Amino acid sequence: MVSKSVLQEQMAKQEYKYGFVSDLDEDIAPKGLNEDIVRLISRKKNEPEWFLEWRLRAYRHWLTMKEPKWSNVTYPPINYQDIIYYAAPKPKKPVNSLDDVDPEIRNLYAKLGIPLQEQERLAGVAVDAVLDSVSVATTFKDRLAELGIVFCSFSEAVHEHPELVRKYLGTVVPFNDNFFAGLNSAVFSDGSFAYVPPGVRCPMELSTYFRINAQDTGQFERTLIIADEGAYVSYLEGCTAPIRDTNQLHAAVVELIALDNAEIKYSTIQNWYPGDKNGKGGIYNFVTKRGKALGANSKVSWTQVETGSAITWKYPSCILQGDNSVGEFYSVALVNNYQQADTGTKMLHIGKNTRSTIISKGISAGYGRNTYRGRVQIHKGATNARNYSQCDSLLIGSTCAAFTFPDIQVQEPTAQMEHEASTSKIGEEQLFYCQARGITPEDATNMIVNGFCKQVFLKLPMEFAVEAQKLIGVSLNLEGTVG
């Protein structure tokens, strides 16, 4: 971690070194961060003045912030001046439809198993694909538009729906929230935006596939989803990155806002490159995700399957502000080799009769370190609030570790709190039992782990659940296992 003086020193040096960059018209910005880079990003995105101002305020505030050190992970200091903050693939012409997308990029997605056209036709999934920083193609837009649903890249939203962006951006995760959220606010280059108008139930799963491609690129995407009164939307997010020796930083921000009687379901499968088996390379996944159940009877539900990244630092949380609002967090986090995860949630009960559920399943293998960190806060006035928390850890082998840090703060005597936790280990006896029935140890491990995760997988949309199961097998090096 970088002490402030070192950071400032680096900045000073870099600012000198790179100086003024306004003449650049390459698609990759020089390494390092300063106000000119922020301006460059804003100019590349052709952003209005108010938006640039917001970025600059975020950047200036970020300079005063310190990288958090309380998490249960270790990594060498990050040199924030050694990162490229903007990289865009070069489109030959403006992207209007899928056919206009660079064939190479489409091939890349095909390799990842996300053929856009296939998905468009068969799966009924509208995909907003983010390659490095520019949203490449947004499908299904027209059909959604008929219902008044806006689903587009963040940059497009800034131009097309500035009133919505201005109204909600930073209202759940303000730029001064934390170090990584501040960084993201200053330099994020794209992301997804969705707005579902009052009373509309979004008829398909909205989906974004993120991918980090260029080397030494930080990906800082930002997602903003608003469900207006009585609206419903389910959003799927998948992430993957190619293999690189060096660590790459990914600092995203996701904000969800549910108004009266609205519901947002947000599912993530995170499979960023985890580094090799000796712990070399891999993504640093430092992400701030938060949903605000703003309206009465609203609901925000998070489901995450985290199998990738060298380090994961992520706490998808719910602010239960509206009376009778509901927050949910269902999580599977798997670490293998030298991966580290410090993940969990915060449930902040502010409104009356608010309810929250936390189901966390942590799997540790190899030399992995897996931490569940959760905070449940019942604020004064949140009468009859209820929380149920369950965090289970599964250990595979004897060199991994699991930690649990639950924190419960109750200021309301009518609150009902339940907390359950368990730790178990895949033992030689379980494996032998399966073997004695003809099942290989690899298949047995896969089966046991999937059984352990079942409660969470059931919360995923069908096709994601299948992918999640496969991913667990792959992440534990159980290739060739039966599905």
Partner 1 sequence: MLEIKDLHVKVAGKEILKGIDLSINAGEVHAVMGPNGSGKTTLAQVLAGRLTYEVTGGQARFEGKDLLALKPEDRAREGVFMAFQYPVEIPGVSNAYFLKAALNAIRKYRGQEEIDAMDFVTLVQDKAKLLGLDETFMKRGLNEGFSGGEKKKNEVFQMAVLEPKLCVLDETDSGLDIDALRVVANGINVMRSPNRAMLVVTHYQRLLDYVVPDFVHVLVDGKIVKSGDADLARNLEKHGYGWILEETPRPPQAARA
CA distance 186 to 163: 20
Binding mask 252-271 for partner 1 (x = CB under 8 A): --------------------
Nearest approach in angstroms of CB 472 to partner 1 is 12
Q: Which two tokens stand for residue 48?
A: 């209005």
For residues 219 and 240, what is the distance between their CA atoms, to the nearest angstrom?
Answer: 12
Kindly state the helix (H) or strand (E) to which residue 108 belongs, with its residue range: helix 103-111
Binding mask 110-129 for partner 1 (x = CB under 8 A): --------------------
**DSSP annotation of 318:** E
Distance in Å, CB of 450 to partner 1, minimum: 7
User: CB-wise, 46 or 435, nearer to partner 1?
Assistant: 435
Indicate which single residue of 176, 383, 390, 440 sits in contact with partner 1 (rule: CB under 8 A): 440
Nearer Cβ to partner 1, position 19 or 427? 427
The verdict on 390 binding partner 1 (CB under 8 A) reads no
Residue 187 identity (one-letter amino acid)? V
- Among the candidate windows 71-79, 105-113, 146-154, 439-447, which touches partner 1 by CB under 8 A? 439-447
Count of chain residues binding partner 1 (CB under 8 A): 24
Binding mask 395-434 for partner 1 (x = CB under 8 A): --------------------------------xxxx-xxx
Q: Supply 292's token pair.
A: 């605000």
Instruction: Select from 89, 182, 179 the least CA-distant residue to 134.
Output: 89
Tokens 């896969």 belong to 446
Residue 189: HSE in the Cβ half-sphere, 13 Å Cα cutoff = 28
> Is 110 exposed, middle or buried (CB count within 10 Å of its CB: 0-12, 13-18, 19+)?
middle
Closest CB 430 distance from partner 1, rounded Å: 5
* Of 24, 52, 98, 439, the one binding partner 1 by CB under 8 A: 439
Question: Of 94, 413, 438, 480, which lies in the binding site for partner 1, with binding defined by CB under 8 A?
Answer: 438
User: Which residue's CB is nearer to partner 1, number 7 or number 448?
Assistant: 448
Q: Rounded to the nearest whole angstrom, what is the least distance from the CB of residue 474 to partner 1 in the complex?
A: 18
**List of residues 6+ apart from 276 with CB closer than 8 A:** 243, 282, 337
Tell me if 126 sits within 8 A of 141, measured CB to CB: yes
Choosing from 447, 461, 470, 474, the residue that interacts with partner 1 (CB under 8 A) is 447
CB 32 to partner 1: min, Å: 48
Residue that has been written with the tokens 């270790």 in this structure: 74
For residues 427-459, b (16+ Cβ closer than 10 Å) or e, as one string? eeebbeebeeeebeebbbbbbbbbebbeebbeb
d(CA 170, CA 160): 18
CB of 418 to partner 1, least distance (A): 19
> In the complex, what is the shortest distance from the CB of residue 421 to partner 1, in angstroms, rounded to a whole number?
15
Q: With binding defined as CB under 8 A, does residue 453 bind partner 1?
A: yes
Using CB under 8 A as the binding rule, whether residue 437 contacts partner 1 is answered as yes
Closest approach of Cβ 446 to partner 1, in Å? Answer: 10
Q: Using CB under 8 A, pick the residue from 76, 436, 479, 480 that binds partner 1.
A: 436
Please state, in angstroms and rounded to a whole number, the distance separating the CA atoms of residues 371 and 363.
10
Strands 311-314 and 253-258: unpaired
Smallest distance, Å, CB 439 to partner 1? 5
Give CA–CA dist 361/458, Å, rounded: 13
The answer to whether 466 contacts partner 1 (rule: CB under 8 A) is no
Binding site for partner 1 (CB under 8 A): 427-430, 432-441, 443, 447-448, 450-455, 482
